[in-house]
Structure 1
């Protein structure tokens, strides 16, 4: 499939589409989502009118699709080491011993690895439903006006958040968007990174979920990024992203791939968004203490990441932050006794990282196929979708 055209400068088209761009906070996307699923319904090269990259970006920006339902396949392959089936938690993601298994934050890490089937439905900004389908259970997040419900059929637990300031307030929307997993959400994140550091090409056509689509290819211009390319299949009729694939600069299988296998742009039935907890379900209200009436306090320093700043621009941006002094993470990186870890556990952790030195001092780099993280001995963290060399260079500059 030969490219139709390469756009070096998007001009007004890029500015118009900026609010729909999929951000280069690729770190955030990678932390909570997806990888390559060969079985996605992507076949054929339909004969469509030629279109420029600028026109296709504008088509995405102009898309007013508010009603959609269907099935999405999503898979993440970050190259993380196997932990015997355990899913590592993310800071602030919930899922502690006192939290509800139905809390959306507790489910984020499940989408960070492996293959998942999602069923989605949306009817405007105030009604959405997303379900994660497993062999023997189902987890759903339902936003209906002022209410957000999450239900885990496996544990028979429900989580409820209510917006007390109006049916379409920001609080309810925040809870309903805890799981950014659709091609549209991922595409919006990447396109936010539009700028002179990015090139755009229309890379032919495809069929996704029975729909004719254009393929928009997005590539970093900067050296040092671990992102090879992002390919978005855009519905030719509606301008809605149907499939999102992120491939690493190192080659091989995609790191993130999410696409519809079935899609319908008709209005979902109103009953789709109705939810009443089944009898006997344990219901947790948002903000409710989980330990018998006494709210648990986070340890000193946890949740208060200090001095977050960004070094660099575009695809090679690196986030720098200072860890709390009593977090012990700096000790983990240095292998010092202050880490408090058993020797064998420390050796295992050391085997996952590479010791590095620079003008910044010394530390350890932990790598995935997309994101590299440097933890220095003096308690700083540098993270980005950049190579190890670029990460060390950013730390030296910081």
Structure 2
């Protein structure tokens, strides 16, 4: 470790003040719809290429957060490696449809980012990213003998799946306006999401230095103070020169490997060639025009009253395939123990037996049966996110333990 380490912490009010003045630079994202649960969690993640502990000037946590907030990098290109280990069972691709709300046999294009990027919810993937200001971004998901690309160039957003030779096209109202779909493209996006969850229930410190993708960086360490959360720690490697996050790591409170790991393995801050963002549908490609323009504003999440609520509200929003939570939804608890809850209005919990058919029985077998003052229900668990569906149709979901969900259901508060 570098010959310094700062235990200076930054408070909730300071973080909130910084958040209100967060940079207006490009967010290095490709506009797309991201999977529900993955959208909330993939926004919390390290690069797999770091070496050495550079000797850098001492800095406090407050100063490092200010450095992130003031970062104004608008041009870059590089390679990002993303590894996700939520502990999901192998469902042969079915988990992507369940999370995104899409049906495997639907009429939508395979190039539609709403479902395509659900692949990032499991396994290890390599992404190539490029950005040139707020009007031009590109993200390419490198696959075996194929590639999926998302290009935002002015008013146009293109998605292209080379395997199926299908194209998705979306048009924004005006250049400079972000399209209605967004997906995290770099650790900077992930860092923004993590910092939203910082409040009085959080410890924030500087944890030495590291080198990522050949660049010197400071390490910002975020740890919940509360018990009962499945989040162990979040580490953000911040470029010492530009203040841009280069790497983001989320480890669970249960220990073991990182739940989500994403960051640069190579990065350049030179202006990408203009041709990087050019796209013309290949000959013979099937082009699908987006028909969801009327929902642009309706899909945007409402601002949170408290920083800690953002974390749980991400789950609540994601549970409905990127739409607003169902009527009667809300958040109970605070900070890292916040739990999103809503009433499905359907009695009987998870369908099983003859009533639910084979699929109902299969889903029920993936969960743990629990009971309490609330009655009975089923808990579905991952290494980070747990959800309780009660037999009377209520749902509780959050980055908390199974016991915390049961307690929330018992109190109803």
TM-score (norm 2): 0.83
The corresponding residue for 2:70 is 62
RMSD (Å), alpha carbons: 2.6
In structure 1, which of residues 269, 273, 298 is the aligned counterpart of residue 277 of structure 2?
A: 273
Q: What is the CA–CA distance in structure 2 between the aligned matches of 1:275 and 1:113, rounded to whole Å?
A: 29
The corresponding residue for 1:297 is none
1:84 shift after superposition: 3.6
Q: What is the CA–CA distance in structure 2 between the aligned matches of 1:341 and 1:57, rounded to whole Å?
A: 52
1:197 shift after superposition: 1.0
Q: Which SS does the other structure have where 1:88 is aligned? A: helix
1:34 shift after superposition: 8.1
Alignment of 1:1-398 (within 5 A): 1=1, 4-10=5-11, 13-18=14-19, 29=39, 40-84=48-92, 86-90=94-98, 92-94=100-102, 96=104, 97-163=106-172, 165-170=173-178, 172=179, 174-175=180-181, 177=182, 179-287=183-291, 305-325=326-346, 331=348, 333=350, 335=352, 337-338=354-355, 340-342=356-358, 345-398=359-412
1:16 shift after superposition: 3.1
Q: What is the CA–CA distance in structure 2 between the aligned matches of 1:236 and 1:35, rounded to whole Å?
A: 19
Q: What is the CA–CA distance in structure 2 between the aligned matches of 1:335 and 1:395, rounded to whole Å?
A: 22
Q: What is the CA–CA distance in structure 2 between the aligned matches of 1:56 and 1:192, rounded to whole Å?
A: 15
Residues 52, 150 of structure 1: alpha-carbon distance in 2 compared, 3 angstrom cutoff = same
Asked if the contact 1:248/1:370 (under 8 Å) is kept, the reply is yes
Structure 1 unaligned blocks of 5 or more: 289-300
Residues 257, 207 of structure 1: alpha-carbon distance in 2 compared, 3 angstrom cutoff = same
Q: What is the CA–CA distance in structure 1 between the aligned matches of 2:17 and 2:208, rounded to whole Å?
A: 23
TM-score (norm 1): 0.86
Q: What is the CA–CA distance in structure 2 between the aligned matches of 1:95 and 1:273, rounded to whole Å?
A: 31
Q: What is the CA–CA distance in structure 2 between the aligned matches of 1:182 and 1:196, rounded to whole Å?
A: 27
1:250 shift after superposition: 0.3
Q: Which SS does the other structure have where 1:184 is aligned? A: helix
Q: Which SS does the other structure have where 2:209 is aligned? A: strand
Asked if the contact 1:95/1:101 (under 8 Å) is kept, the reply is no
1:10 shift after superposition: 2.5
Q: Which SS does the other structure have where 1:16 is aligned? A: helix
